Amino acid sequence: MNAPLQKKIKRVRSVLVISILFVLLTGAVALGVGFYSQLGPADPQNKQEKLFVIKQGSSLIEIAHNLKKEGLLKSSRGFILYVKLTGNTSKIKAGQYLLNPALDVPEITEKLVKGKVATITFTIPEGYHLRQIAQVFVKQGIATEEEFWEVVQEGEFDYAFLADLPQTERRLEGYLFPDTYTIAKGMPVKEVIKMMLKRFDTVYKRLPSNETELTMHEVVTLASIIEGESVVEQERAVIASVFFNRLKIGQRLEADATVQYLFDERKERVLYRDLEVDSPYNTYRHQGLPPGPIGSPGEASLRAVLEPQDTKYYYFVARKDNSGEHVFARTLDEHNRNKRNLGYR
């Protein structure tokens, strides 16, 4: 074969190879662009959150299908391919997620792999009793009234401080610690209550040791009364001393907070006729502590019982200036004089 012909064949081969490479490269780029476009958000302008649920044991195909069905994906195939290519097939976690159509596939995958589930944040104020806590649970969609009370009364919890308490609807009164909690949406109500009991246990264990003559249940009971009677932080230990002084001599506690506990709604003021309600929780009629707590005391009230001030006070009356402060007295005559000076009849 002569040299010119060989050169011509080589040129043809080179052109052919370049052409094939060009076609392949163009195809690869097209495929890449197509795949990349499938990873974009389903609707970039729509940031409306949707609750998306992944059940335990769901397959990748099921998850992709449901995401597409909810309008959260441009392409279920693109999602499946991306998850597989990034090695996340077995890393997606079950749970309830807040997703929106403006998220792209990598963002959605990250949430599902990291278990960034939808959450609920709720607050139980200090002094709330079980009826009020139940209302918070219902309002936040954590549980129905029936579910809440069933767990409160029948749920089994491995805490020594609950061991000897009768399994009534008041069993957990005082032990669901008041605080702000963040939980996964859909968390079983029993697990939420376990979290609150654990918080109580943690706080109580860091308090001073109990050097009083009260049992732990009585400490919580008295702390709940102090919670209901006090507003100003520095007065709690003084109010605690008043109640300890009364208990020592057998004088009735006569705490308005125990009367308020008898009513579903807190009254603006306790009336004389309210004091006549016959209940073991009414400390105007019955001597000593009530049968159990009247609400959930916070750490300051629990600490006040364990570290009461040493005073000779037996009485206190609230000021009328909305300060939340009280005037304390050693004798009934002094107490009545204080009330007159403050404008009480």
pTM, to two decimals? 0.77
pLDDT given at position 37: 77
pLDDT given at position 8: 55
Residue 255: closest CA among 219, 344, 246 = 246
Q: Are strands 180-184 and 326-329 parallel, antiparallel or unpaired?
A: unpaired
pLDDT given at position 9: 53
Across the chain, what does the average pLDDT equal?
A: 88
Question: Phi and psi of 317, rounded to 5°?
Answer: -140, 145
Q: What is the residue-wise DSSP string for 77-101?
A: HHHHHHHHHTT-TTTPPPEEEEE-T
Q: Which two tokens stand for residue 13?
A: 């081969």
Query: DSSP alpha helices (H): ranges in the chain?
Result: 3-38, 60-69, 76-85, 105-114, 130-139, 145-154, 189-205, 216-229, 236-249, 256-260, 299-306, 332-342
Residue 243: closest CA among 223, 261, 271, 259 = 223
Instruction: Give the dihedral sign, CA 138/144/147/153.
Output: positive
Q: Residue 175: CB partners within 8 Å, gap ≥ 6?
A: 159, 161, 162, 196, 197, 200, 220, 293, 296
Q: Residue 2: is its pLDDT beyond 80?
A: no
Q: What is the pLDDT of residues 224-248, one digit of tens each?
A: 999 999 999 999 999 999 999 999 9
Domains and CATH numbers, the chain: 50-117 (3.30.1490.480), 120-205 (no CATH), 216-342 (no CATH)
Q: Which two tokens stand for residue 110?
A: 């990250």
Q: Residue 339: CB partners within 8 Å, gap ≥ 6?
A: 317
pLDDT given at position 118: 85
The string over 327-339, giving b where at least 16 C-beta atoms fall within 10 Å of a residue's C-beta and e elsewhere, is bbbeeeeebeebb
Q: Residue 27: is its pLDDT beyond 50?
A: no
In angstroms, the Cα distances linking 97 to 54, 81, 88, 108, 116 are 8, 21, 17, 10, 7
Query: What percent of the chain stands above pLDDT 70?
Result: 88
What is the C-alpha separation between 174 and 162, in angstroms, rounded? 11
Q: Residue 217: is its pLDDT beyond 60?
A: yes
What is the C-alpha separation between 245 and 123, in angstroms, rounded? 34
pLDDT given at position 61: 95
Between 216-229 and 236-249, two packed helices, what is the crossing angle to 10 degrees? 120
* Rounded mean pLDDT, 278-285: 90
pLDDT given at position 10: 57
Q: Find out whether 302 and 203 touch, Cβ atoms under 8 Å.
A: yes
* Rounded mean pLDDT, 302-311: 97
Task: Map tokens 């991306």 to a residue.
Answer: 82
User: Which of the 8 DSSP states describes residue 209?
Assistant: P
Q: What is the pLDDT of residues 143-188, one digit of tens each?
A: 999 999 999 999 999 999 998 888 888 999 999 999 999 998 888 9
* Rounded mean pLDDT, 257-268: 81
